[in-house]
Amino acid sequence: MSEGLIKMWIALSAIGLMFIAVMAISFSRLKLNGFIKRIVAVFAYTCMITAGLLIMYVVFSGPVPE
């Protein structure tokens, strides 16, 4: 696999993690209570932070040589 294709998959996985984070935090705020709510919220924020780090890697690693 080329470097550009690997970066594409990394970016796509980051977008997927962001989607999971939004769904999880919405679910935890609207449907859950107590300890489970906190666990799901921590999972969601962990996904969001991981996605942000992956996107930063893709953006700051620069263009792919041809």
In a domain, 65, yes or no: no
- Give the distance from CA 48 to its chain's centroid: 5
In a domain, 50, yes or no: yes
In a domain, 19, yes or no: yes
- Domain range for residue 18? 3-60
CA angle 17, 47, 20 (to 5 degrees): 45
pLDDT per residue as tens digits for the range 24-41? 999 999 999 999 999 999
Is residue 54 within 8 Å of 14, Cβ to Cβ? yes
Cβ neighbours of 64 (radius 10 Å): 12
Is residue 53 within 8 Å of 19, Cβ to Cβ? no
In a domain, 66, yes or no: no
In a domain, 18, yes or no: yes
Percent of the chain with pLDDT strictly greater than 70? 100
Number of domains in the chain: 1
In whole angstroms, how large is the CA radius of gyration of the chain? 15
Give alpha helix (H) positions in 1-66. Answer: 3-31, 34-60
Q: What is the pTM of this model?
A: 0.87
